[in-house]
A and B are shown apart, each in its own frame.
Chain A
Amino acid sequence: MDNGQSKRFLWRKLGKIFDPTKVVGIDWMREFAQAPSVLIFDDFVRVYFSCRPFSDKNGQYVSYTGFADLNRKNLFEVLNISKKPIMELGETGTFDEFGTYPTSVIRFEDRVIAYYGGWTRCESVPFDVAIGMATSWDNGETFNKSCRGPVLSAWLFEPFIISGPKIRRINDIWYLWYIAGKSWIESDGNVEPVYKIRMASSEDGITWVRENRDLIQDKLDEFEAQASPDVFYYQDSYHMFFCYRHGTNYRGPRGYRIGYASSTDLMNWVRDDSKTGIDISESGWDNETIAYPHVFELDGKVYMLYLGNQVGRYGFGLAELEAYG
């Protein structure tokens, strides 16, 4: 039986669909529209993303999560942009005091639940991240944090940077794909984090059992950093699109590319980037890097949202699945 292990994807780029630098009058949304993920409504597709006001006088950013509603019949038409961030940043000393990025949302019963990476600032390294949870009772317009601490944070074998959540619910089990920091490496006076894709499962979405192993084999070397583990089910197989980069000097040609792995059981993943079917362009807004894929089905078609150069500083684009076989 062919369970999808031999098939390849081929994506057709439709172009950039949202540019935060062109938004007028929202001071917390000046630059960056990172890590898009969708929630589908009858008439529109809500795309959540993380954006930033201009940096402070020390060049430091905070990151908020907002959304843009796209016309379901024409995804290039923006109908609405969130007026406020969907949730506040955390209070002094909490894990999400300086940012909520990325955010992954899911409908469950009569509410929408968000899992997000919360950012704090450290002294010896620039930041640490842990995963928080918030709930919306108004169709995903605003989210309330039920508590001030994280639902998934560092532990014995995952010492820092617990981030990049992608929440899914499959056969009544909650699955969280995420990334965990492996090491900070020093390079040209900076420190850069190396992180790998991991997974946890849960019966209630709150208490998580970690798989405690790297799911995706390195392609570059041990310092490869992997992010955005976006899982979906399509034609009898589970598929994961993710992004990966070199450990150092990655602002340029060593930057993010999109990788691919498939699985039949959600646990064991076979990486084969030759089946990804999407790469950087010859020129234009995504000619240096391509990152943070998010795949969704809509009205009989399969789409991928993704970031271009400078990890979404100038927005995200859309591709459509042209062939799978």
Chain B
Amino acid sequence: MKGVAIMKWKKLGRVFNPVEHHLPDNCFEFAQSPQALLFDNFVRIYFSTRERDTSGKYLSHISFVDFDFEFKNILNLSKETVISLGGLGCFDEHGIFPLNVLRHENKILGYIGGWSRRVAVSVETAIGLAVSHDQGETFTRVGAGPVLTASQYEPFLVGDPFVRVFNGTYHMWYIYGVRWIRESGHSVPERVYKIGHATSPDGVAWRKTSKQVIKDRLNIDECQALPTVIECDKTFHMFFCYRQALGFRNQKESAYRIGYAYSDNLVRWVRDDAGIGIDVSEGGWDSDMMCYPHVFRVGSDIYMLYNGNEFGRYGFGLAKLEN
């Protein structure tokens, strides 16, 4: 797994379709932004799923599914609420997407991608922190507010946290909004966001780098989302997804694809989408779109979880790195 080589991923197919299961919190579709946490005997995948509220709008909730190490069998599915939505007026009142989980110093931390509804634009997001005291069954917020949110040079839409500890420092890759754009005068505003980076000594107090980490490939309105980072052969590898700012919901060529960058110091990243070795399929569940990658190890194997068409309405799939 070198930055300059071409990776080869073998798609193992869709491993979870939410409509085939009974989920808590009145959720019936979507299993988005899968995030893995390893246990002794299974792999737990947290994902965001949705209910409709009385106004017909969606609320995103976190559920999980436990797989055996071959991803052949589902061993368990969350039966209760994993983490409640935020209180009235809080940053995560209307959804959690994603819940990024990690183990550190005998704790299981969950970084909350919190969503709350706005009037002039559809939504604002910020990042919160929760801890699990029961082996990841449920999470409790450290505080009702966010740990990372809008600031002077990142004015809105701070979200999509991915946190790892390298050399004793917490690193967070996340996204921040740069502008809301309209296709024409009366269209609804659509967001443009980029990948950023912050560091922390304790996982609570963060210092933003306040610059775009990954170069645009499409154009200045390219939207970059859900970074995931893994260390391999002394190189850091980042996977993320990117799309056009407009037309991305129903035009295949404008929809999400997986992007890739590598770094030897966690700060400077070289974008190299040509080296990624995975793309949409000819037909099937991931033929129009690939998004929300999450890369992780099981033993010596490296896997990628990702969503397919319709942003994961019908679940997530898995690919395995072959070289």
Contacts and interface: CB of A to CB of B under 8 A. Distances in A.
A93 B180 contact: yes
A150 to B, nearest CB: 6
Interface in A106-134: 120-125, 128, 130, 133
B261 to A, nearest CB: 25
A90 B156 CA distance: 12
Contacts of B143: 155-157, 159
Contacts of B153: 147-149
B120 to A, nearest CB: 6
Interface in A226-280: none
Contact of B149 (A93, A154, A181): A154
A206 B152 contact: yes
A121 B177 CA distance: 18
A94 interface: yes
B91 interface: yes
Contacts, number: 125
Given A146-B152, A154-B146, A191-B88, A121 B129 contact: no
A159 B118 contact: no
B305 to A, nearest CB: 29
B152 A123 contact: no
Contact of B93 (A95, A124, A133, A151): A124
Contacts of A154: 91, 126, 145-146, 149
B146 A155 contact: yes
Contacts of A19: none
Contacts of A97: 120
Interface residues of A, number: 39
Contacts of B128: 156
Contacts of B179: 91, 93
A92 interface: yes
A213 to B, nearest CB: 14
A97 B121 CA distance: 11
A153 B58 CA distance: 26
A156 B90 contact: no
Contacts of B117: 122-124
A270 B157 CA distance: 40
A160 B120 contact: no
Contacts of A150: 150-152, 155
Contacts of A123: 94, 116-119
A141 interface: no
B contacts with A: majority SS:
loop
A184 interface: yes
A184 B120 contact: no
Interface string A72-99: 0000000000000000001111110110
A320 interface: no
Interface in A142-199: 146-151, 153-161, 181, 183-184, 186, 191, 193
A184 B88 contact: yes
Contacts of B91: 154, 159-160
Interface string B107-149: 0000000001111110010101100000000000011111101
Nearest to A122: B118
Of the candidates B116, B142, B147, the one having the most CB atoms from chain A within 10 angstroms of its own CB is B116
A92 B180 contact: yes
Contacts of A159: 86-87, 89-91, 143-146
Contact of B94 (A90, A124, A157, A184): A124
Contacts of A158: 145
Contacts of A184: 87-89
Given A146-B152, A148-B155, A122 B120 contact: no
A121 B90 contact: no
Contact of A160 (B145, B177, B191): B145
Nearest to B189: A92
B160 interface: no
B90 to A, nearest CB: 5
Contact of B147 (A124, A130, A155): A155
B186 to A, nearest CB: 13
B154 interface: yes
B204 interface: yes
Nearest to B181: A92
A160 B90 contact: yes
A192 B94 CA distance: 19
B128 to A, nearest CB: 8
B138 to A, nearest CB: 19
Interface string A201-229: 00000100000000000000000000000
A158 B119 CA distance: 22
Given A93-B156, A93-B189, A156-B204, A124 B151 contact: no
A95 B150 contact: yes
B89 A93 contact: no
A121 B117 CA distance: 9
B156 A156 contact: no
Contacts of B149: 153-155
A130 B124 CA distance: 13
A205 to B, nearest CB: 12
Given A93-B180, A93-B189, A154-B91, A122 B119 contact: yes
19 contacts: A93-B179, A93-B180, A93-B189, A95-B156, A123-B116, A123-B117, A123-B118, A128-B89, A133-B152, A149-B155, A154-B126, A155-B143, A157-B145, A158-B145, A159-B89, A160-B145, A186-B88, A191-B88, A206-B152
Given A122-B118, A159-B87, 19 more contacts: A93-B157, A95-B156, A120-B119, A121-B119, A122-B89, A123-B117, A124-B116, A147-B153, A149-B150, A149-B151, A154-B91, A156-B145, A156-B146, A156-B147, A156-B204, A157-B143, A157-B145, A159-B146, A191-B89
Nearest 3 interchain pairs by C-beta: A156-B143, A159-B145, A149-B155
